[in-house]
Structure 1
């Protein structure tokens, strides 16, 4: 069935159907039922997924919108991160992350600032969560370990926190030494997310500073940019 014929059968435009197919917008339960009738296929799991998609994530209470990085990481089982400039967020102390946010050229209200700190601290709890643990494989440049962010006391506590985290079975920490020279990751930091369901593809996340977020798909990964 062509997309045009399917859209006509569902009383929606082809662009609206395309956005639902690509995951750009949520699909309502009654729309799922209509699609099942149209395609003559019934799958109760799809209905459950549609209902779950309407539930508010915990991050919404902190002003973080859906379809961003936080809700993707919440569903993930493994995070692989290359960090070149500073300690990965999941391993940062509160004072260290506050210093990072203060140095950011992005201006935030006091509430937005505190919300961002709270969200990052909540994300870190997954590393020690017994019910839904998150595995972190962190590869960071040695330069990040030596950059004095927040002052000597903040940096001392941060390095101690990294050492403690490295003892966690859920954390694998590797360091690119200064003597390594040029390497493939020098163009920028990135994060790769893996999910517990085998049919879910890995997701590559690269952070960019721009006004809005859009989804880009490729055969092997999705990028949120």
Structure 2
């Protein structure tokens, strides 16, 4: 039976443990020997299946972490085992919400949808109702509540840094009433006025470009001193990329799309034009 995938916080802490071991010049076998952790157990630990508390402290000691620095490590360990606020809405800690909750910066490109952090409630409800697995009842209400709570990060202290690139086709969706469509576009303009939010639009006339392959997001964690993660959601699930070469590829595509897109003032002018045409 396969073990469930560890949540994002456990994986982030596991990556730090791996780097501690590498900095100490130890192999997995050498690192685990004093605790009688075999190579398989060490491998699982570094994938996010963290040991018990005493085993965790033993690893810190093995890697040369001084006792006066334990407090921060123990705080991260406790945090990794906590259930995030999203659990109350029936969402586990292994998906996008938990990744975003710990991020300081989000760079997202959306092909056919307005980014969730910029959606009005009416847009959310239309998007959830039109999904491959439409949400109704309590599931729908929970999904809306989670997305609305995520949006508070844009005005929290410290605020989440958001750079959103939107394909023009997402601005011209016929599945909302005209008033709702205009309200959504006005909401994007309002969000773009926040100092931590950048909005760009890729105009339709560019035709084929790398963004036509689909939407993706790059999440950054400078406060946690953790490497970026790339996230890709598709019609049948999602993928998370943590290897440097994959994340670098996502960053390169994002930069290319930012160069293709209108700058923010021209993007806002285009959005106002779409409002006038609606």
Cα offset for 1:181? 2.1
Larger deviation, residues 2-11 vs 14-23: 2-11
| Structure 1 alignment gaps of length 5 or more | none
Cα offset for 1:84? 0.7
Aligned counterpart, 1:166: 192
Q: How many equivalent pairs are there?
A: 220
CA contact under 8 A between 1:201 and 1:221: conserved in structure 2?
no
CA contact under 8 A between 1:26 and 1:53: conserved in structure 2?
no
Cα offset for 1:142? 0.6
Of 18, 28, 32, the match for 1:3: 28
Aligned counterpart, 1:56: 83
Cα offset for 1:13? 4.5
Distance 1:182-1:154 versus aligned 2 partners, 3 A rule: same
Distance 1:29-1:100 versus aligned 2 partners, 3 A rule: same
Aligned counterpart, 2:148: 121
Aligned counterpart, 2:211: 185
Work out the CA distance in 2 between the residues paired with 1:74 and 1:209.
Answer: 23
Cα offset for 1:104? 0.8
Cα offset for 1:215? 5.8
- Cα deviation per residue 1:135-174 (whole Å; 9 max; x = unaligned)? 1111011110011233323212111211211222221110
Work out the CA distance in 2 between the residues paired with 1:209 and 1:29.
Answer: 39
CA contact under 8 A between 2:104 and 2:223: conserved in structure 1?
no
Distance 1:210-1:19 versus aligned 2 partners, 3 A rule: farther
Aligned counterpart, 1:175: 201
Work out the CA distance in 2 between the residues paired with 1:81 and 1:205.
Answer: 9
Distance 1:210-1:91 versus aligned 2 partners, 3 A rule: same
Of 4, 21, 28, the match for 2:46: 21
Normalization by structure 1: what TM-score? 0.86
| Partner SS for 1:79 | strand
CA contact under 8 A between 2:165 and 2:201: conserved in structure 1?
yes
| Structure 2 alignment gaps of length 5 or more | 1-25, 248-278
Q: Which has the higher helix share?
A: 2
Normalization by structure 2: what TM-score? 0.71
Of 145, 168, 185, the match for 1:142: 168
Work out the CA distance in 2 between the residues paired with 1:117 and 1:110.
Answer: 11
Cα offset for 1:12? 4.0
- Cα deviation per residue 1:78-108 (whole Å; 9 max; x = unaligned)? 1111001011100001111111000112244
Question: Is 1:36 matched with 2:99?
Answer: no
Work out the CA distance in 1 between the residues paired with 2:241 and 2:110.
Answer: 22
Work out the CA distance in 2 between the residues paired with 1:200 and 1:75.
Answer: 10
Cα offset for 1:47? 2.0
- Cα deviation per residue 1:164-209 (whole Å; 9 max; x = unaligned)? 1122222111011111222222111100111233732111111145
| Partner SS for 1:137 | strand
Q: RMSD of aligned C-alpha atoms?
A: 2.4
Cα offset for 1:216? 5.0
Of 179, 203, 206, the match for 2:229: 203
